[in-house]
Amino acid sequence: MKLSIQNISKKYNKEKFGLKNYSLTAENGIMGLLGPNGAGKSTLMKIVATISQPTQGSVELEGIDIIQNPNYIRKVLGYLPQDFGVYENLNAYEFLEYIAAMKGVGGHGLRSRIEALLEGVNLIEAAKSQIGSYSGGMKQRIGIAQALLNDPKVLIFDEPTVGLDPEERMRFRNLMSDLAQNAIIILSSHIVSDIETIADEVVIMNNGTLITKGTLAEVIGQVEEKVFETLLENSSLTEFKAKHLVVNTNRQKDDVWVRYISNDPVTGSKAVVPSLEDAYMHLTKNRN
């Protein structure tokens, strides 16, 4: 599968853009989207999921324009939006049957597929209770299960780990890796470590534009030898922040350990191994 996004823009009014002349190509594997709020991640995902239309540009799946033929991708799409809801007076079985009908999935195997998915997200015991009585994490797991109902080849997950506990997050990451062998997965998260752990490719966005795209090593490579740590007095921290991009602080009595990014480190600083978070901060803050 190959998904090709060509020069798409989403204009809300004369001055406000959701996306500006954005191009991207994705193939089987996990593409992690990073960016601050308002960067255009959700807009991009909604356009690929065919629920929003770009002002200009094209999106093609296997060479077919899905802006013109949205039903082409819808048959193979699994989408987990950021702020989805549920019909609270249906139980988990009924809700998944309903979503399966939307996706055009039926037949004798449907029931066992739903059972397997509910078992996999650990909701089989609560499957006969109305969803209105579920906790936030349980609803999120229902969301994950619905995305897999139609054996999707394109999966879009917008902040999928919100509401999941650490163990569930780990299980979700394993699932992503499993699915990525045969599907394009576009994953957005504010939790940089989630992306760092599983993404094959990382895309960083800001203000509706693509800032960088590459493998984890390529993106982190952009801050190679630019990340340092130093110990400062508490009182000098404000002045230091004005001059350098501080990514982390750790207070200790009168002093503070500071992790910062700079081309010109202060005396006494120690170079450290950069992380994706460092690269993200460097690439997004330097362009604001």
Partner 1 sequence: MRQLFKIVISDYWQRTRSYAFLITLAISLFAAYSFVPAPDANYTTLRIGNYIGVQNAAWIGYVTAMMTSVFLCLIGFYLINSNIKKDIQTGVGMIIATTSISNFSYLSSKAWSNFLVLLSITGIVFLMGITLFFIRSAGYPLSMMQFILPYLLIAVPAIFFISTLSVAAEVFLFRYPVWMNLGFFIFFCILGSQQSTTRPLFDLFGVKTVTMSMQEIIHKNNQYTGTDVSMGFIFGGKKAIGSFIFEGIHWNISIILGRVAWICFGWMLIFISSRFFHRFDLKQTFKSGSKMEPSDIISKGKILHEIKVSELSPITPDYGIMPFVSTELKMLIRKGPRWLWLINLGAMVALIFAPLAVAGQIILPVLWFLQVGRWSDLATKEKTNRIHYFTYSSYKPLTRLLTAQIISGLLLALALASPLFIRYLIALQLSSFLGILLGGAFIVLLAVSMGILSGGNKLFEIIFFLLTYLNVNLIPFADYFGGINHGSPYLLLIFLLVIFLACISFVARRFEIRRL
In the complex, the residues that contact partner 1 under the rule CB under 8 A are 46, 49-53, 71, 74-75, 77, 79, 81, 83-90, 94, 97-110, 112-113, 116-117, 119-126, 129-130, 132-135, 137-138, 145-146, 148-151, 165, 167-168, 171, 174-175, 178-179
Shortest approach of partner 1 to residue 86 CB, angstroms? 7
Concatenating the DSSP letter of every residue in 37-90 gives: TTSSHHHHHHHHTTSS--SEEEEEETTEETTT-HHHHHTTEEEE-TT----TTS
Closest CB to partner 1 among residues 34, 126: 126
Closest CB to partner 1 among residues 34, 142: 142
- Cβ atoms 118, 124 nearer than 8 A: yes
The two structure tokens encoding residue 131: 């969803």
* CA geometry: angle 152, 149, 132, nearest 5 deg: 135
- Cβ atoms 206, 284 nearer than 8 A: yes
Closest CB to partner 1 among residues 71, 267: 71
- Cβ atoms 229, 268 nearer than 8 A: no
Shortest approach of partner 1 to residue 13 CB, angstroms? 14
Across the strands, what pairs with 206? 209
Shortest approach of partner 1 to residue 126 CB, angstroms? 4
Closest CB to partner 1 among residues 164, 266: 164
Closest CB to partner 1 among residues 66, 211: 66
Distance CA 54, CA 208 (A): 12
- In single-letter form, the type of residue at position 202 comes to V
Closest CB to partner 1 among residues 129, 193: 129
Tell how strand 209-214 and strand 201-206 pair up: antiparallel
Shortest approach of partner 1 to residue 65 CB, angstroms? 15
Which helix (H) or strand (E) covers residue 246, if one does? strand 245-252
Shortest approach of partner 1 to residue 4 CB, angstroms? 19
Shortest approach of partner 1 to residue 3 CB, angstroms? 15
